[in-house]
Amino acid sequence: MVFGTRFNSLRVREQILGTAENRSLDVYTLEVTDLGKILLVAGGLLVGLGLVLVLAGKTNLPLGRLPGDILYRGKRTTFYFPLATSILLSVVLSIVLYVIGRWRR
């Protein structure tokens, strides 16, 4: 087969890769399918996080009321910054992610 002409090279390319319309349709289907999977996983994570927060609220954990959390109440304003809670959650999440990272190796 001679590949020197444009017609032959286009025909060979279509045989190998398929037509441009089919490729774009396959890429679109792949992207939409992947997006659907990502949305399902994200939704599942949000539901799981919501359940954890509801259960944590019923256990009377002092998160948000730790010594070191800043609370200022003025006449018409309230400023709240959970400094100690943020540091505690950062340390706990760092340890959990470190253990998961070591476990996966």
17-43 per-position pLDDT tens digit? 665 555 555 556 667 778 888 899 999
Task: Tell me what pLDDT residue 12 has.
Answer: 60
pLDDT band, residue 10 (cuts 50/70/90): low
Task: Tell me what pLDDT residue 61 has.
Answer: 81
H-state helical runs in 1-105: 6-17, 20-58, 83-104
Over 70: is that where the pLDDT of 76 sits?
A: yes
- 8 Å CB contact between 67 and 75: no
**pLDDT (average), residues 88-100:** 94
> Domain boundaries in the chain?
1-60, 62-105
